[in-house]
Structure 1
Protein backbone atom coordinates (compact mmCIF):
# COMPACT_ATOMS: atom_id res chain seq x y z
CA UNK A 1 0.00 0.00 0.00
CA UNK A 2 1.24 3.47 -0.87
CA UNK A 3 1.55 5.92 2.00
CA UNK A 4 2.94 9.33 2.92
CA UNK A 5 5.21 10.32 5.75
CA UNK A 6 4.18 13.80 6.83
CA UNK A 7 5.27 16.22 9.52
CA UNK A 8 2.67 18.32 11.34
CA UNK A 9 3.85 21.49 13.10
CA UNK A 10 1.73 23.83 15.18
CA UNK A 11 2.87 27.19 13.82
CA UNK A 12 4.14 29.74 16.37
CA UNK A 13 4.20 27.20 19.21
CA UNK A 14 7.31 27.64 21.37
CA UNK A 15 8.77 25.14 22.07
CA UNK A 16 7.52 23.68 18.79
CA UNK A 17 4.65 21.19 19.06
CA UNK A 18 4.99 18.66 16.23
CA UNK A 19 4.13 15.14 15.07
CA UNK A 20 5.53 12.81 12.39
CA UNK A 21 2.90 10.49 10.91
CA UNK A 22 2.54 7.90 8.16
CA UNK A 23 -0.89 7.90 6.49
CA UNK A 24 -2.20 5.71 3.64
CA UNK A 25 -2.29 7.60 0.33
CA UNK A 26 -5.75 6.48 -0.77
CA UNK A 27 -7.74 8.49 1.78
CA UNK A 28 -9.70 11.72 1.75
CA UNK A 29 -8.99 15.01 3.45
CA UNK A 30 -11.64 14.06 6.01
CA UNK A 31 -9.46 11.15 7.05
CA UNK A 32 -6.37 13.39 7.05
CA UNK A 33 -8.26 15.78 9.33
CA UNK A 34 -9.11 12.89 11.65
CA UNK A 35 -5.47 11.80 11.68
CA UNK A 36 -4.25 15.30 12.56
CA UNK A 37 -6.85 15.58 15.33
CA UNK A 38 -5.79 12.31 16.96
CA UNK A 39 -2.06 12.84 16.42
CA UNK A 40 -2.03 16.36 17.83
CA UNK A 41 -4.55 15.72 20.61
CA UNK A 42 -7.45 17.95 19.53
CA UNK A 43 -11.06 16.95 20.21
CA UNK A 44 -12.73 17.86 16.90
CA UNK A 45 -15.02 20.53 18.36
CA UNK A 46 -14.60 23.15 15.65
CA UNK A 47 -14.56 23.93 11.93
CA UNK A 48 -11.40 23.36 9.94
CA UNK A 49 -9.85 24.16 6.58
CA UNK A 50 -6.93 23.06 4.40
CA UNK A 51 -5.20 25.97 2.65
CA UNK A 52 -3.03 25.83 -0.45
CA UNK A 53 -1.05 29.02 -1.03
CA UNK A 54 -2.14 31.14 -3.99
CA UNK A 55 -4.74 28.61 -5.15
CA UNK A 56 -8.38 29.42 -5.85
CA UNK A 57 -9.97 26.71 -3.75
CA UNK A 58 -10.57 25.78 -0.10
CA UNK A 59 -11.10 22.34 1.40
CA UNK A 60 -13.30 22.81 4.46
CA UNK A 61 -16.13 21.30 6.50
CA UNK A 62 -17.79 24.71 6.78
CA UNK A 63 -21.25 23.79 5.46
CA UNK A 64 -22.51 27.38 5.52
CA UNK A 65 -19.61 28.56 3.37
CA UNK A 66 -20.13 25.62 1.01
CA UNK A 67 -23.83 26.35 0.57
CA UNK A 68 -23.11 30.06 -0.06
CA UNK A 69 -20.52 29.13 -2.68
CA UNK A 70 -22.84 26.61 -4.31
CA UNK A 71 -25.72 29.11 -4.48
CA UNK A 72 -23.80 32.13 -5.78
CA UNK A 73 -21.53 30.26 -8.17
CA UNK A 74 -24.61 28.77 -9.83
CA UNK A 75 -26.44 32.10 -9.89
CA UNK A 76 -23.47 33.95 -11.40
CA UNK A 77 -22.12 31.15 -13.57
CA UNK A 78 -22.28 33.22 -16.75
CA UNK A 79 -21.96 36.77 -15.44
CA UNK A 80 -20.36 38.35 -12.41
CA UNK A 81 -22.65 40.22 -10.01
CA UNK A 82 -23.18 43.89 -10.76
CA UNK A 83 -21.94 46.63 -8.43
CA UNK A 84 -25.52 47.15 -7.31
CA UNK A 85 -25.89 43.47 -6.46
CA UNK A 86 -22.53 43.25 -4.70
CA UNK A 87 -21.66 46.73 -3.49
CA UNK A 88 -19.30 45.44 -0.78
CA UNK A 89 -17.69 42.69 -2.88
CA UNK A 90 -18.90 39.94 -0.58
CA UNK A 91 -20.38 37.78 -3.33
CA UNK A 92 -17.26 38.22 -5.44
CA UNK A 93 -15.09 36.93 -2.61
CA UNK A 94 -17.40 33.98 -2.07
CA UNK A 95 -17.33 32.78 -5.67
CA UNK A 96 -13.65 33.44 -6.42
CA UNK A 97 -12.54 30.47 -4.32
CA UNK A 98 -14.04 27.06 -5.04
CA UNK A 99 -15.04 25.17 -1.91
CA UNK A 100 -14.46 21.42 -1.77
CA UNK A 101 -15.83 19.19 0.95
CA UNK A 102 -13.07 17.21 2.70
CA UNK A 103 -14.86 13.90 2.21
CA UNK A 104 -14.99 14.55 -1.56
CA UNK A 105 -11.25 14.97 -2.25
CA UNK A 106 -8.47 12.38 -2.00
CA UNK A 107 -5.18 13.61 -0.58
CA UNK A 108 -2.79 11.96 -3.07
CA UNK A 109 -3.00 14.46 -5.95
CA UNK A 110 -2.75 17.48 -3.68
CA UNK A 111 -0.09 16.28 -1.29
CA UNK A 112 2.28 15.16 -4.06
CA UNK A 113 1.72 18.35 -6.07
CA UNK A 114 2.05 20.90 -3.27
CA UNK A 115 4.15 19.02 -0.68
CA UNK A 116 3.54 21.84 1.84
CA UNK A 117 0.18 23.28 2.88
CA UNK A 118 -1.60 24.60 5.95
CA UNK A 119 -4.37 23.16 8.09
CA UNK A 120 -6.39 25.58 10.21
CA UNK A 121 -8.42 24.27 13.10
CA UNK A 122 -10.91 26.40 15.08
CA UNK A 123 -11.45 29.71 13.30
CA UNK A 124 -11.70 31.45 16.68
CA UNK A 125 -8.48 30.30 18.38
CA UNK A 126 -7.06 29.88 14.87
CA UNK A 127 -4.64 27.01 15.28
CA UNK A 128 -2.55 26.99 12.10
CA UNK A 129 -0.58 23.83 11.32
CA UNK A 130 2.06 23.31 8.66
CA UNK A 131 1.71 19.97 6.86
CA UNK A 132 4.88 18.85 5.06
CA UNK A 133 5.37 15.78 2.88
CA UNK A 134 8.67 14.18 3.92
CA UNK A 135 8.63 10.83 2.15
CA UNK A 136 6.57 8.60 -0.13
CA UNK A 137 6.37 4.97 0.96
CA UNK A 138 5.42 2.35 -1.61
CA UNK A 139 5.14 -0.74 0.61
CA UNK A 140 3.28 0.44 3.70
CA UNK A 141 1.90 -2.59 5.53
CA UNK A 142 -0.78 -1.09 7.78
CA UNK A 143 -4.29 0.01 6.88
CA UNK A 144 -4.28 2.92 9.34
CA UNK A 145 -2.07 5.90 10.21
CA UNK A 146 0.92 5.44 12.51
CA UNK A 147 2.52 8.12 14.65
CA UNK A 148 6.32 7.79 14.49
CA UNK A 149 7.37 10.54 16.88
CA UNK A 150 6.52 13.98 18.16
CA UNK A 151 7.02 16.52 20.91
CA UNK A 152 4.88 18.81 23.00
CA UNK A 153 1.46 18.59 24.63
CA UNK A 154 -1.54 19.73 22.62
CA UNK A 155 -3.06 22.98 23.95
CA UNK A 156 -6.51 22.71 25.56
CA UNK A 157 -9.51 23.46 23.38
CA UNK A 158 -10.78 27.05 23.61
CA UNK A 159 -7.73 28.27 25.52
CA UNK A 160 -7.48 31.40 23.38
CA UNK A 161 -4.96 30.56 20.68
CA UNK A 162 -1.17 30.73 21.01
CA UNK A 163 -1.25 33.76 23.32
CA UNK A 164 -3.93 32.21 25.51
CA UNK A 165 -1.93 29.00 25.73
CA UNK A 166 1.16 30.89 26.90
CA UNK A 167 -0.92 32.54 29.64
CA UNK A 168 -2.37 29.13 30.54
CA UNK A 169 1.10 27.57 30.86
CA UNK A 170 2.32 30.36 33.13
CA UNK A 171 -0.39 29.51 35.64
CA UNK A 172 -0.32 25.74 35.03
CA UNK A 173 3.43 25.42 35.66
CA UNK A 174 3.67 27.76 38.65
CA UNK A 175 2.11 26.53 41.92
CA UNK A 176 2.57 30.02 43.34
CA UNK A 177 0.51 31.65 40.60
CA UNK A 178 -2.76 33.11 41.93
CA UNK A 179 -4.77 31.26 39.27
CA UNK A 180 -2.84 27.98 39.44
CA UNK A 181 -5.59 25.95 41.12
CA UNK A 182 -8.39 27.23 38.88
CA UNK A 183 -6.27 26.70 35.76
CA UNK A 184 -5.36 23.17 36.87
CA UNK A 185 -9.02 22.36 37.43
CA UNK A 186 -10.05 23.80 34.06
CA UNK A 187 -7.15 22.18 32.20
CA UNK A 188 -7.96 18.77 33.62
CA UNK A 189 -11.62 19.23 32.62
CA UNK A 190 -10.34 19.84 29.07
CA UNK A 191 -8.30 16.60 29.22
CA UNK A 192 -5.01 18.49 29.00
CA UNK A 193 -2.23 15.90 29.14
CA UNK A 194 1.38 15.29 28.20
CA UNK A 195 2.09 13.82 24.77
CA UNK A 196 1.87 10.02 24.86
CA UNK A 197 2.80 8.29 21.60
CA UNK A 198 1.48 4.85 22.64
CA UNK A 199 -1.90 6.28 23.62
CA UNK A 200 -2.18 8.10 20.28
CA UNK A 201 -1.21 5.06 18.23
CA UNK A 202 -3.83 2.97 19.99
CA UNK A 203 -6.43 5.58 19.00
CA UNK A 204 -5.23 5.71 15.40
CA UNK A 205 -5.30 1.93 15.04
CA UNK A 206 -8.67 1.55 16.75
CA UNK A 207 -10.52 4.50 15.22
CA UNK A 208 -8.95 5.04 11.80
CA UNK A 209 -8.37 1.60 10.38
CA UNK A 210 -8.66 2.15 6.64
CA UNK A 211 -11.74 0.94 4.81
CA UNK A 212 -12.45 1.70 1.17
CA UNK A 213 -15.90 3.11 1.88
CA UNK A 214 -14.72 5.20 4.85
CA UNK A 215 -11.65 6.89 3.35
Structure 2
Protein backbone atom coordinates (compact mmCIF):
# COMPACT_ATOMS: atom_id res chain seq x y z
CA UNK A 1 0.00 0.00 0.00
CA UNK A 2 0.98 3.64 -0.40
CA UNK A 3 2.44 5.33 2.67
CA UNK A 4 4.12 8.56 3.74
CA UNK A 5 7.33 8.94 5.68
CA UNK A 6 6.86 11.97 7.88
CA UNK A 7 8.91 13.76 10.51
CA UNK A 8 7.12 15.06 13.59
CA UNK A 9 8.88 17.85 15.49
CA UNK A 10 7.76 19.56 18.68
CA UNK A 11 8.36 23.18 17.68
CA UNK A 12 10.65 25.19 19.99
CA UNK A 13 11.76 22.12 21.98
CA UNK A 14 15.46 22.23 22.91
CA UNK A 15 16.99 19.78 22.39
CA UNK A 16 14.57 18.88 19.64
CA UNK A 17 11.88 16.29 20.43
CA UNK A 18 11.10 14.47 17.21
CA UNK A 19 9.89 11.23 15.59
CA UNK A 20 10.28 9.84 12.07
CA UNK A 21 7.19 7.79 11.22
CA UNK A 22 5.76 5.87 8.28
CA UNK A 23 1.98 6.11 8.07
CA UNK A 24 -0.42 4.61 5.50
CA UNK A 25 -1.50 7.31 3.05
CA UNK A 26 -5.19 6.41 2.93
CA UNK A 27 -6.04 7.54 6.45
CA UNK A 28 -7.90 10.47 7.98
CA UNK A 29 -6.62 13.35 10.05
CA UNK A 30 -8.07 11.58 13.07
CA UNK A 31 -5.69 8.69 12.43
CA UNK A 32 -2.80 11.12 11.90
CA UNK A 33 -3.67 12.70 15.25
CA UNK A 34 -3.70 9.26 16.89
CA UNK A 35 -0.33 8.47 15.32
CA UNK A 36 1.19 11.70 16.62
CA UNK A 37 -0.22 11.05 20.09
CA UNK A 38 1.14 7.50 20.36
CA UNK A 39 4.46 8.32 18.70
CA UNK A 40 5.24 11.38 20.78
CA UNK A 41 3.82 10.14 24.08
CA UNK A 42 0.82 12.43 24.58
CA UNK A 43 -2.26 11.08 26.38
CA UNK A 44 -5.03 12.51 24.15
CA UNK A 45 -6.57 14.62 26.92
CA UNK A 46 -7.12 17.84 24.98
CA UNK A 47 -8.46 19.50 21.85
CA UNK A 48 -6.32 19.69 18.72
CA UNK A 49 -6.36 21.18 15.25
CA UNK A 50 -4.70 21.21 11.85
CA UNK A 51 -4.95 24.60 10.13
CA UNK A 52 -4.68 25.39 6.43
CA UNK A 53 -4.84 29.20 6.17
CA UNK A 54 -4.16 28.96 2.42
CA UNK A 55 -7.56 27.27 2.04
CA UNK A 56 -9.29 28.93 4.99
CA UNK A 57 -9.74 25.48 6.50
CA UNK A 58 -9.54 24.26 10.07
CA UNK A 59 -9.68 20.53 10.89
CA UNK A 60 -10.37 20.01 14.58
CA UNK A 61 -12.06 17.86 17.21
CA UNK A 62 -13.43 21.04 18.80
CA UNK A 63 -17.12 20.09 18.58
CA UNK A 64 -18.34 23.47 19.79
CA UNK A 65 -16.48 25.32 17.03
CA UNK A 66 -17.74 22.81 14.47
CA UNK A 67 -21.38 23.17 15.55
CA UNK A 68 -21.18 26.98 15.59
CA UNK A 69 -19.68 26.99 12.09
CA UNK A 70 -22.27 24.52 10.82
CA UNK A 71 -25.14 26.58 12.23
CA UNK A 72 -24.04 29.92 10.80
CA UNK A 73 -22.79 28.58 7.46
CA UNK A 74 -26.18 26.93 6.90
CA UNK A 75 -28.06 30.05 7.97
CA UNK A 76 -26.03 32.30 5.70
CA UNK A 77 -25.42 29.87 2.85
CA UNK A 78 -26.99 32.10 0.21
CA UNK A 79 -26.64 35.51 1.84
CA UNK A 80 -24.32 37.51 4.03
CA UNK A 81 -25.30 38.54 7.55
CA UNK A 82 -26.60 42.10 7.68
CA UNK A 83 -24.89 44.80 9.72
CA UNK A 84 -27.77 44.61 12.16
CA UNK A 85 -27.36 40.84 12.54
CA UNK A 86 -23.58 41.02 12.80
CA UNK A 87 -22.56 44.51 13.98
CA UNK A 88 -19.05 43.46 15.01
CA UNK A 89 -18.32 41.05 12.13
CA UNK A 90 -18.11 38.02 14.44
CA UNK A 91 -20.41 35.84 12.32
CA UNK A 92 -18.55 36.81 9.13
CA UNK A 93 -15.25 35.75 10.71
CA UNK A 94 -16.76 32.46 11.88
CA UNK A 95 -18.03 31.43 8.45
CA UNK A 96 -14.99 32.58 6.46
CA UNK A 97 -12.94 29.62 7.71
CA UNK A 98 -14.43 26.19 7.08
CA UNK A 99 -14.38 23.88 10.09
CA UNK A 100 -14.30 20.13 9.43
CA UNK A 101 -14.08 17.09 11.67
CA UNK A 102 -10.81 15.11 11.52
CA UNK A 103 -12.52 11.75 10.96
CA UNK A 104 -14.08 13.05 7.73
CA UNK A 105 -10.96 14.29 5.91
CA UNK A 106 -8.12 12.19 4.50
CA UNK A 107 -4.50 13.34 4.75
CA UNK A 108 -3.14 12.34 1.34
CA UNK A 109 -4.02 15.35 -0.81
CA UNK A 110 -3.03 17.84 1.88
CA UNK A 111 0.32 16.25 2.71
CA UNK A 112 1.27 15.88 -0.93
CA UNK A 113 0.17 19.42 -1.78
CA UNK A 114 1.67 21.33 1.14
CA UNK A 115 4.51 19.00 2.28
CA UNK A 116 4.50 20.62 5.72
CA UNK A 117 1.57 20.91 8.14
CA UNK A 118 1.19 22.35 11.62
CA UNK A 119 -0.60 20.41 14.33
CA UNK A 120 -1.57 22.11 17.59
CA UNK A 121 -2.37 20.02 20.65
CA UNK A 122 -3.82 21.41 23.89
CA UNK A 123 -5.03 24.97 23.37
CA UNK A 124 -3.84 25.84 26.89
CA UNK A 125 -0.23 24.62 26.88
CA UNK A 126 -0.33 25.11 23.10
CA UNK A 127 2.06 22.43 21.86
CA UNK A 128 2.89 23.18 18.21
CA UNK A 129 4.14 20.34 16.00
CA UNK A 130 5.64 20.50 12.54
CA UNK A 131 4.58 17.58 10.34
CA UNK A 132 6.87 17.28 7.32
CA UNK A 133 6.45 14.89 4.41
CA UNK A 134 9.90 13.43 3.72
CA UNK A 135 9.03 10.88 1.05
CA UNK A 136 6.30 8.69 -0.41
CA UNK A 137 6.53 4.90 -0.22
CA UNK A 138 4.55 2.88 -2.77
CA UNK A 139 4.98 -0.63 -1.36
CA UNK A 140 4.45 -0.29 2.38
CA UNK A 141 3.56 -3.71 3.77
CA UNK A 142 2.10 -2.92 7.20
CA UNK A 143 -1.41 -1.82 8.04
CA UNK A 144 -0.29 0.49 10.85
CA UNK A 145 2.23 3.29 11.44
CA UNK A 146 5.83 2.52 12.40
CA UNK A 147 8.37 4.78 14.08
CA UNK A 148 11.74 4.59 12.33
CA UNK A 149 13.67 6.91 14.65
CA UNK A 150 13.25 9.65 17.19
CA UNK A 151 14.67 11.43 20.20
CA UNK A 152 13.51 13.18 23.31
CA UNK A 153 10.93 12.51 25.99
CA UNK A 154 7.48 14.00 25.47
CA UNK A 155 6.54 16.58 28.14
CA UNK A 156 3.89 15.50 30.66
CA UNK A 157 0.32 16.59 30.08
CA UNK A 158 -0.70 19.88 31.72
CA UNK A 159 2.87 20.73 32.69
CA UNK A 160 2.38 24.37 31.71
CA UNK A 161 4.05 24.68 28.31
CA UNK A 162 7.81 24.91 27.88
CA UNK A 163 8.21 27.14 30.93
CA UNK A 164 6.52 24.59 33.14
CA UNK A 165 8.41 21.76 31.50
CA UNK A 166 11.74 23.43 32.26
CA UNK A 167 10.79 23.76 35.93
CA UNK A 168 9.57 20.16 35.96
CA UNK A 169 12.87 18.86 34.58
CA UNK A 170 14.88 20.86 37.10
CA UNK A 171 13.02 19.20 39.98
CA UNK A 172 12.85 15.79 38.28
CA UNK A 173 16.60 15.57 37.68
CA UNK A 174 17.90 17.15 40.89
CA UNK A 175 17.81 14.83 43.92
CA UNK A 176 18.41 17.83 46.19
CA UNK A 177 15.62 19.94 44.73
CA UNK A 178 12.95 20.68 47.40
CA UNK A 179 10.21 19.51 45.04
CA UNK A 180 12.04 16.48 43.67
CA UNK A 181 9.94 13.82 45.36
CA UNK A 182 6.59 15.50 44.71
CA UNK A 183 7.55 16.14 41.09
CA UNK A 184 8.68 12.54 40.67
CA UNK A 185 5.34 11.32 41.98
CA UNK A 186 3.40 13.70 39.77
CA UNK A 187 5.49 12.87 36.69
CA UNK A 188 5.00 9.16 37.20
CA UNK A 189 1.25 9.69 37.60
CA UNK A 190 1.38 11.43 34.20
CA UNK A 191 3.27 8.44 32.73
CA UNK A 192 6.33 10.57 31.99
CA UNK A 193 9.09 8.40 30.54
CA UNK A 194 12.07 8.52 28.22
CA UNK A 195 11.45 7.81 24.56
CA UNK A 196 11.32 4.05 23.98
CA UNK A 197 10.91 3.24 20.29
CA UNK A 198 9.97 -0.41 20.87
CA UNK A 199 7.30 0.48 23.42
CA UNK A 200 5.86 3.16 21.13
CA UNK A 201 5.82 0.84 18.12
CA UNK A 202 4.02 -1.82 20.12
CA UNK A 203 1.32 0.74 20.93
CA UNK A 204 1.01 1.78 17.28
CA UNK A 205 0.70 -1.81 16.13
CA UNK A 206 -1.77 -2.77 18.84
CA UNK A 207 -3.98 0.29 18.73
CA UNK A 208 -3.81 1.56 15.13
CA UNK A 209 -3.71 -1.55 13.00
CA UNK A 210 -5.92 -1.37 9.92
CA UNK A 211 -6.79 -3.84 7.20
CA UNK A 212 -4.29 -4.05 4.37
CA UNK A 213 -5.33 -2.70 1.02
CA UNK A 214 -4.95 -5.42 -1.62
TM-score of the two chains, using structure 1 as the length reference? 0.96
Residue range with higher mean Cα deviation, 127-136 or 175-184:
175-184
Aligned to 1:122: 122
1:103-130 CA distance string (max 9 Å, x none): 1011111110011010001111111000
Aligned to 2:105: 105
Distance 1:54 1:161 in 2: 27
Q: How does 1:1-215 map to 2 (within 5 A)?
A: 1-211=1-211
Distance 2:83 2:170 in 1: 51
Unaligned runs of 5+ in 1: none
| Paired residues of 1:119 and 1:130 also in contact (CA < 8 A) | yes
Q: CA deviation at 1:210?
A: 1.3
| Paired residues of 1:53 and 1:117 also in contact (CA < 8 A) | no
TM-score of the two chains, using structure 2 as the length reference? 0.96
1:57-77 CA distance string (max 9 Å, x none): 101111110000000011111
Distance 1:202 1:82 in 2: 55
Instruction: Note closer, same or farther for the CA distance 1:211–1:62 as it changes in structure 2 (3 Å cut).
Output: farther
1:151-185 CA distance string (max 9 Å, x none): 00010000011111111111111112121111111
Residue range with higher mean Cα deviation, 39-48 or 82-91:
82-91
Distance 1:15 1:156 in 2: 16
For this pair of structures, how many residues does the alignment match? Answer: 212
Q: Secondary structure at the match of 2:200?
A: helix
Q: Secondary structure at the match of 2:158?
A: coil
Unaligned runs of 5+ in 2: none
Distance 1:93 1:140 in 2: 42
Distance 1:186 1:127 in 2: 20
Distance 1:54 1:164 in 2: 33
Q: CA deviation at 1:88?
A: 2.6
Q: CA deviation at 1:95?
A: 0.5
Residue range with higher mean Cα deviation, 43-52 or 189-198:
43-52
